[in-house]
Amino acid sequence: MINDKKVLFSAMQATGNLTLGNYLGALKNWTTLSDEYECFFAVADLHSITVRQDPAEFRKNARKLLTLFIAAGIDPEKNCIYYQSQVSAHAELAWILNCFTYMGELSRMTQFKDKSAKHADNINAGLFTYPALMAADILLYQADVVPVGKDQMQHLELTRDIAERFNAIYGDVFTIPEAYLGKAGAKIMSLQDPTKKMSKSDENANGSIYLMDDPDTIRRKFKRAVTDSEGAVRYSESQPGIMNLIDIYSTCTGKTAEEVEKEFEGQGYGVFKEAVGDAVVAVLEPLQKRFEELSKNKEYIDNCIKNNAEKAAYTATKTLRKVQKKVGFSEKIR
């Protein structure tokens, strides 16, 4: 609890173009929850260097991501938005938690397996211990809730296991966090292969809607979305492409899957796909406009983030000191 409010933590990597999956699965929920909780939102730049980055490009992307948080509706005066790399407690706690995380647990992480396959020439130790850093992110703020997409659930489960293991040895040090998954949109799939997650790194650009895609591109990608030959807009496991489109439409319009089925009863996929494209444009166009405006206002963004790293560090360091004491590190002589 901070200021009588429960605590929310989440983060996003600053690599590549964000997708509609990142927005509907995570960012959108951050904005709706931000009034209710004391929130910490980080640009997870420490995580990003587990894959090689071009420094100039990386710096630019990190800034863009932070601007996008604000453009999506997170008020930087009320919420703590910051760069993970600017709060050294993240790296310090990550080291300690590494010593409470088993090789077997880390080897089971599907993201590690996927990324190792994708970057076979750079399977570094950071990629392997990535979940311990993620646990540090969350546990430093004593977060009660962590809004993420389904693909991060395994990491969150591991965070809970690490926290429980630590608490069992040293007493109640960490709050055990709960995941927050949205009703729909927790796993947005590729428009070209609905059995695969929509991803920033998809080789087929038609499979992903990028947040900065223009309206024509968005509509065209939905028109080309892979569906099936059943011809009915039904929320059924046997129609993964249509199911994904219903999820996207529901999340953008606030309608339930049943309402969507009713709305498009007896209509062809063409009409439905057009409506999904329009609904996504209606959500992304204003977001893009706000992003463009904010990007021009360097001073505003600079001011918004100036004090936030310090604010985050204040809370994070409190937990870190407690942990250091518990494990038996010697106190600094001042």
**Distance in Å, CB of 63 to ligand TYM, minimum:** 16
Residue 93 binding ligand TYM, by CB under 6 A: no
Within 189-248, which residues bind ligand TYM (CB under 6 A)? 197-198
Residue 44 binding ligand TYM, by CB under 6 A: yes
Report the residue number whose CB is nearest to ligand TYM. Answer: 25
| Catalytic residue from among 28, 64, 115, 273 | 115
Is 154 in contact with 304 (CB distance < 8 Å)? no
What burial letters (b/e) apply to 305-326, b meaning 16+ CB within 10 Å? Answer: beebbeebbebbbebbeebbee
200 a catalytic residue: yes
Q: What are phi and psi of 122, to 5 degrees?
A: -145, 60
183 a catalytic residue: no
- 99 three-class SS: coil
28 a catalytic residue: no
In this structure, the number of other CB atoms found within 10 A of the CB of residue 33 comes to 16
Q: Which is nearer to ligand TYM, 12 or 127 (CB)?
A: 12
- Judged by CB under 6 A, which stretch of 132-140, 165-173, 274-282, 320-328 contacts ligand TYM? 132-140
Is 320 in contact with 140 (CB distance < 8 Å)? yes
Within 174-193, which residues bind ligand TYM (CB under 6 A)? 186-188
**Distance in Å, CB of 177 to ligand TYM, minimum:** 9
- 60 three-class SS: helix
Is 146 in contact with 8 (CB distance < 8 Å)? yes
Rounded Cα gap, residues 164 and 159, in angstroms: 9
| Catalytic residue from among 28, 64, 187, 197 | 197
CA distances from 10 to 34, 224, 295 (A): 11, 33, 23
User: What is the residue-wise DSSP string for 77-89?
Assistant: TTSEEEEGGG-TH
**Distance in Å, CB of 199 to ligand TYM, minimum:** 6
Q: Which is nearer to ligand TYM, 47 or 63 (CB)?
A: 47
Return the active site residues: 115, 197, 200
List contacts with ligand TYM (CB under 6 A): 9-13, 21-22, 25-26, 44, 47, 134, 137-138, 146, 148-149, 151-152, 186-188, 197-198
